[in-house]
Structure 1
Amino acid sequence: MKSHIPSRRPLAMIATLAFAAAFAAPVLAAGEEVIMHKDPNCGCCGKWAEHMRAAGFSVKEIKNPNMSEVKRAAGVPQALGSCHTAKVGGYVIEGHVPAADVKRLLAEKPKVAGISAPGMPQGSPGMEGPFPADRYDVVSFTADGRTKVFASH
């Protein structure tokens, strides 16, 4: 004789799928391809790409001797410039921005053009070395040039 008590299996399956979906977005964001333009003679850019790969991103490195044109076309404010310029998920990533900040950007999807670690802060991803790490800000910027601190390190 069949039981008329509803099975809990479908409910458990729905709960499991909902739980998985809640955590899938950050994982998928990390798997997005980063297209990075870098000066052919720069070594720290490759180290930043390695940092991003270690964080789960796929990185395509493009050697470009005309980085000022790349930055201008990407809309990077001159004051926020660094050595390499990348794009991921529709955003510009300028310089040695930590992967955690890129993941946060992709998860939160703020209305900005991108984020930058201006200059080349010592101790930032790709700029590790024997010197003490600098304190630095990652700054968001809009297409019309407005800026705001996105993260501090």
Structure 2
Amino acid sequence: MRRGAVRSVVVAGVLVLGAVGQARAATADPEADVAYHGRVALSQGHLRVWLVPENDGPAPLPNATVRVRLSADLADRQDLAGGCARAGLREVVCETGPLPLHGRGRHIGLALELREPAAEVEVRVDTWWNGGATDRDLTNNEHVVLALDTGDTYAF
């Protein structure tokens, strides 16, 4: 093979690889900073969870899913808010709706019934799905709250 032909093949290969890299960069997952703020209260087997999802950017998200996990079993029947579904004996997931850049999603309110009254319930809130976005700060979207059966409100 001639030296000029080898150089042409190498240059063509570099151009193709460079184009593939640019295409990957153009379709890379967005980066967002999803956060949850809210409160929980437990009283006689009734757990209330209210939360607001937020996105501190740098990109908006069309939707995400927040997961609420409990240390106690849920009653068989639940009257869940729209966009929410049961995901197990102790889990509920809810869509956040669009999360604009530096904005909030829909307010989510859950009135959950426990299978049996409990003196305390550990409530874990985290992101179940975020549309494939990269989130480098998980400290503001993973919360653990211990709610005592006093009716008091605990914020996170």
Q: Same fold (TM over 0.5)?
A: no
Q: Which has the higher helix share?
A: 1
TM-score under structure 1 normalisation?
Answer: 0.31
**Structure with greater proportional strand content:** 2
Higher relative contact order (CA 8 A, sep 6+): 2
In terms of Rg, which structure is larger? 2
> What is the TM-score normalised by the length of structure 2?
0.31
